[in-house]
C-alpha cells in the first residue's frame, strides 16, 4: 500500500511538470480546425500607435492612430507595410466629378464635361453676348471650369464651314447647376454665330483662390495681374473659376506665366470705361 501511494505521488508530480512545460501551445502545429466563433473576444492583429519598422510578409497590424476604417495594414514585402481594404474617397467632391487614382489614393480630377448646343445672335464689334444653360450637375457657383469652343462653325443654309476670327469666350458658374457662356467680338465686324456644340468641364478642386482688384479699364483695353498658384508649370492648363457676378463686357482669362505663377487678364469690351469690382477668383491646375 505504501509503495502504491508513493507511485501515485510521483506520477502526479511528473504530470504537473509536464503540463507546466507545455502551457504554450503552438496553434500552427498542435491545433486542428481552430474555431474562435464562440470566443468572447478575439484580437488577431498586433496594435500600436505607429507601424513597426520591421515586418515579415503576411503579417498584419492595427494602427490605432489612423482614421477610423483605415487602420488595418499588411506586410506586403519585407519591412513594407501597405494599407489594406478599399482606398478612401476624398472628403470633398462635386457632382459629376471624375476621381483619378494616383497610385496611393483617389484625388479629384476634371469631370467628364457637359456638351451643349448654343446659338448666338449678331454680336456687334467690341461687344459681348451671353447665353445661359442649365447643367445636369449642381456645380457650385464660382467653380473652376474650362470652356471648349467648336473647332468651326457651319452655316446650315449653304453648308459652308468657317471659323470666325476675333472672337473670345469664357464660361462661369453663376449658381448651383447654372452656367453662363459669354462671347466677345473684337474682329472689327459684326458676327453672327450659328448653332454649334460647346463643352464645359468642371475641375472640381481649386488649387488656389485670390481676391483680385483690377484697375479702371477703358473700352478695348486689358490689364493683367499675377497670382501665385502652387503646382503650376509653363505647360499647365488652368481651369478658371470666375465670380458669379461679372460686369457686362468684361472677359477674364488665365494662363501660366512662370513656375508657380498665373497671369489673370481682364479685357473690357463693354463699349465704355469700367472698373471691375473686387472679387474672388479660383484656379485649378489640370
pLDDT digits 0-9 by tens, 27-51 = 667 777 778 778 888 888 999 999 9
d(CA 92, CA 206): 11
Do the bridges between strand 145-148 and strand 191-202 make them parallel or antiparallel, or are there none, so unpaired?
Answer: antiparallel
pTM, full prediction: 0.62
Q: Say how far apart CA 254 and CA 229 lie, in whole Å.
A: 11
Same domain membership, residue 226 and residue 160:
no
**Residue 86 confidence (pLDDT):** 67
Q: What was the pLDDT predicted at 13?
A: 45
Do 161 and 234 reside in the same domain of the chain? Answer: no
Domain end call among 179, 202, 225: 202
pLDDT at residue 91 above 50? yes
For the chain, give the mean pLDDT. Answer: 81
63 strand-pairing partners = 48
Q: Residue 256's closest CA among 240, 244, 268?
A: 240
Q: Given 152, 181, 202, which residue is the final one in a domain?
A: 202
**pLDDT score, position 273:** 95
Whichever domain contains 188, its CATH number is 2.70.40
SS3 41: coil
How high is the pLDDT of residue 64? 93
> Which of 202, 226, 253 lies at the terminal end of a domain, its last residue?
202
170 and 242: one domain?
A: no
Tell me the C-alpha distance between 206 and 171, whole Å: 16
Q: What is the arithmetic mean of pLDDT over 2-18?
A: 46
Which element (helix H / strand E) includes 255? strand 250-258
pLDDT band at 151 (very low <50, low <70, confident <90, very high): low
Confirm whether 67 is domain-assigned.
no
Residue 13 resides in a domain: no
Residue 185 near residue 191 (C-beta atoms within 8 A): yes
Query: Residue 275 sits in which domain range?
Result: 208-285
Residue 165 within a domain: yes
What pLDDT does 102 receive? 60
Report the relative pairing of strands 222-228 and 261-268 from DSSP bridges. antiparallel
Q: What's the pLDDT score for residue 100?
A: 65
32 within domain boundaries: no
- pLDDT tens digits, residue range 194-250? 788 888 888 755 678 899 999 999 998 999 999 998 888 888 888 899 999 999 999
Residue 30 lies in a domain: no
Which three-class secondary structure state does DSSP give residue 10?
helix
Give per-residue burial for 7-20: e unless 16+ CB within 10 Å, then b. eeeeeeeeeeeeee
In this structure, the answer to whether residues 198 and 120 fall within a common structural domain is: yes
What are the pLDDT digits (tens) for 208-222? 889 999 999 999 899
State the total domains in the chain: 2
The pLDDT assigned to 9 comes to 45
Please check whether residue 61 lies inside any domain of the structure: no
What are the cell numbers at 155? 452655316
Amino acid at each position: 500500500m505504501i509503495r502504491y501511494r508513493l507511485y501515485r505521488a510521483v506520477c502526479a508530480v511528473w504530470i504537473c511538470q509536464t503540463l507546466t512545460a507545455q502551457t504554450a501551445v503552438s496553434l500552427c502545429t498542435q491545433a486542428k480546425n481552430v474555431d474562435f466563433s464562440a470566443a468572447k473576444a478575439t484580437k488577431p492583429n498586433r496594435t500600436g500607435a505607429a507601424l513597426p519598422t520591421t515586418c515579415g510578409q503576411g503579417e498584419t497590424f492595427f494602427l490605432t492612430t489612423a482614421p477610423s476604417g483605415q487602420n488595418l495594414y499588411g506586410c506586403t514585402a519585407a519591412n513594407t507595410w501597405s494599407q489594406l481594404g478599399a482606398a478612401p474617397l476624398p472628403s470633398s467632391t462635386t457632382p459629376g466629378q471624375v476621381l483619378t487614382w494616383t497610385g496611393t489614393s483617389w484625388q479629384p480630377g476634371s469631370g467628364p464635361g457637359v456638351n451643349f448646343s448654343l446659338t448666338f445672335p449678331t454680336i456687334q464689334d467690341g461687344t459681348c453676348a451671353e447665353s445661359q444653360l442649365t447643367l445636369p450637375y449642381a456645380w457650385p457657383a464660382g467653380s473652376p471650369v474650362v470652356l471648349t469652343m467648336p473647332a468651326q462653325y457651319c452655316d446650315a443654309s449653304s453648308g459652308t464651314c468657317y471659323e470666325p476670327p476675333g472672337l473670345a469666350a469664357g464660361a462661369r458658374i453663376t449658381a448651383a447647376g447654372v452656367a453662363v457662356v459669354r462671347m466677345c467680338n473684337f474682329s472689327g465686324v459684326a458676327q453672327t454665330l450659328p448653332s454649334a456644340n460647346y463643352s464645359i468641364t468642371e475641375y472640381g478642386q481649386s488649387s488656389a483662390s485670390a481676391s483680385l482688384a483690377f484697375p479702371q479699364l477703358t473700352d478695348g483695353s486689358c490689364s493683367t495681374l499675377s497670382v501665385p498658384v502652387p503646382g503650376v508649370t509653363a505647360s499647365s492648363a488652368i481651369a478658371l473659376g470666375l465670380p458669379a457676378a461679372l460686369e457686362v463686357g468684361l472677359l477674364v482669362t488665365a494662363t501660366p506665366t512662370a513656375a508657380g505663377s498665373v497671369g489673370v487678364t481682364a479685357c473690357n469690351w463693354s463699349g465704355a470705361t469700367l472698373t471691375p469690382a473686387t472679387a474672388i477668383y479660383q484656379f485649378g491646375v489640370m
